[in-house]
């Protein structure tokens, strides 16, 4: 293998770096797309750590926001779990 690499002309390694760089860019684009599809870029996620017991530690606006975000996340969870169950049922029916 080393003899083969030594027999190549000068400048061949740049093409290897270009291919590897292109693969990295494609992987990053894929994972960003996956994150967007699976709601991973949610700025309001910080409100999910609060519960009813934290009401006295928060302003009324923050508490209302945390309850709204919690309700939205629960709806999203139910929707995603339903979608996963439907996909699993379709896969089982295809067998």
Q: What is the pLDDT of residue 31?
A: 96
Q: What pLDDT sits at residue 33? A: 94
pLDDT, the chain, mean: 87
21-60 pLDDT per residue, tens: 999 999 999 999 999 888 788 778 778 788 888 888 888 8
Answer yes or no: is pLDDT of 67 > 80.
yes
| Three-state helix/strand/coil letters over the chain | CHHHHHHCCCCCHHHHHHHHHHHHHHHHHHHHHHHHHCCCCCHHHHHHHCCHHHHHHCCHHHHHHHHHHHHHHHHHHHHHHHHHHHHHHHHHHHC
């Amino acid at each position: 293998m080393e003899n083969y690499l030594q027999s190549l002309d000068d400048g061949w390694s740049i093409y290897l770096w270009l291919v590897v760089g292109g693969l990295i860019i494609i992987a990053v684009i894929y994972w960003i797309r996956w994150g967007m599809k699976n709601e991973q870029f949610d700025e309001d996620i910080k409100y999910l750590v609060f519960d009813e017991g934290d009401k006295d530690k928060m302003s009324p606006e923050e508490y209302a926001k945390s309850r709204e975000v919690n309700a939205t996340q629960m709806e999203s969870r139910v929707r995603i779990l339903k979608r996963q169950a439907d996909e699993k049922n379709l896969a089982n029916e295809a067998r």
